[in-house]
Amino acid sequence: MRQVPPQAVPAQAVQVVSNTWAREKHNLFDFESCQLHRQTFTVQNSMMCVRKDTNVDMLSERTSLPLESDPLFQIEQKDGAFWVDNAALPRSSSETPWLVVRDMPTGGHRLSENDVIKLGRLKFRVRQLVASVHGGTQPDLRLPDSGSSCCPNSSQDELRSTMCRICLQEGPCEDDPLISPCACKGSVEYIHLGCLRHWIHDRLGLSDASDGSFFYRPLPCELCTAIYPTYVMVEVSRTEPPYIILENKNFSHGFYVVSLAEKVAKLGRSKESHVCINDISISRCHAMIRFDDGQFILEDNNSKFGTAVAMKKPWLLESGTMSVQVGRTVLSLFVQPDPFAASCQPMPPRTGSNEQEERALRLSLLDHGSSRAALAEVVSGAGAFEEPAHEAAARVVP
């Protein structure tokens, strides 16, 4: 996460525009929907933001939670600055607040290890970020082991006449031991470590020509279905830095190992994606990760259900705009340097369409801050996705 150390921006108020999707579906928010319920607020003190049906409300922190309403988050005023937090909300009913990547001040989010990112309804944890070859770091692909033992049960003498079930050669080689990696017994019990790794290499769809991007998952023995232990699985590929490892937190356990060497990684449902995710809540080209100036930057590609990063700690509102998604509500927050409204009064009704209204509001707010460049970056960042398809390397998912 960013913001270390926090740089407090003296602020008098926070302008909040909430949009709530009328449908309740997997905690998703549809960024393309016309059925959004829009409200605006000006917040000058610490407030609790709650939702009942499609209606969002700002309550004083001393107010008890109304029946059947969901707490979304708090806006805390501390030392003249405003923070977004959810620490004091009732845990049982609160959803995680997510930072909306497309509305980040720079148009993207600088990833850190252990960030949890959300594409549509699917979640991924950033397991490892490797920027350079320094130290020869290789992918950390350790998995909770199945507990199967790989120690040979036979004596060294017996092993010399034991056959590898893949290459059919007898006995261990100098740097290639015979191991018993699964629950198989008898004539298929033993296998050369090298032979097994070669087989795993093929099963993961790793070609020698690739830069080491692949989807890594625990592989079972095809005969006894025991999962091969971690030490067998590692070192199956040499991945070219910079690379990122994303842990799949959803339907199947495994890791996306994605090299960003000389390319921007595309994440999406399209077969051309480097990280190909086949789920209906994922857009064809949903998001991308680029390596820029030593940083791994996550960007959204105007995806239908959005790209977001879990808010793990209180988030300081700086100049400009940021948005928080809680379930089917997205709240955009703009720091106001000047007071212009009473605390938490709904804005007077405006004329014109919702889009015009929000645009006018944003533009008026931009004049106060330095967000114009940031917004322009969001727009140009989205255009950067229009790259020729031939730049895409082999997709990660076999």
Residue ranges binding Zn ion (CB under 5 A): 164, 166-167, 182, 184, 192, 195, 221, 223-224
Taking the complex as a whole, the smallest distance from the CB of residue 178 to Zn ion amounts, in Å, to 8
Taking the complex as a whole, the smallest distance from the CB of residue 144 to Zn ion amounts, in Å, to 19
**Burial degree of 21 (CB within 10 A; 0-12, 13-18, 19+):** buried
Residue closer to Zn ion (CB basis): 65 or 184: 184
Taking the complex as a whole, the smallest distance from the CB of residue 192 to Zn ion amounts, in Å, to 3
By three-state DSSP, how is residue 160 classified?
A: helix
Residue closer to Zn ion (CB basis): 223 or 384: 223
303: its two tokens = 């995806």
Residue closer to Zn ion (CB basis): 184 or 397: 184
d(C-alpha 144, C-alpha 131), whole Å = 26
CA distance to 52, 204, 227, per residue, from 398 (Å): 44, 7, 19
- What b/e string do you get for 133-168 counting C-beta neighbours within 10 Å, with b at 16 or more? eeeeebbebebeeeebebebeeeeeebeebbbbeee
Cβ atoms within 10 Å, residue 247: 19
Taking the complex as a whole, the smallest distance from the CB of residue 274 to Zn ion amounts, in Å, to 32
Taking the complex as a whole, the smallest distance from the CB of residue 226 to Zn ion amounts, in Å, to 5
219: its two tokens = 């592989």
* 378 sits in which H/E element: helix 371-383
Residue closer to Zn ion (CB basis): 175 or 367: 175
Phi, psi (degrees; rounded to nearest 5) at 382: -65, -35
Taking the complex as a whole, the smallest distance from the CB of residue 220 to Zn ion amounts, in Å, to 8
Taking the complex as a whole, the smallest distance from the CB of residue 52 to Zn ion amounts, in Å, to 56
d(C-alpha 182, C-alpha 84), whole Å = 50
Residue closer to Zn ion (CB basis): 199 or 385: 199
Residue closer to Zn ion (CB basis): 167 or 366: 167
Residue closer to Zn ion (CB basis): 195 or 227: 195
CA distance to 1, 214, 240, 354, per residue, from 320 (Å): 18, 38, 37, 21
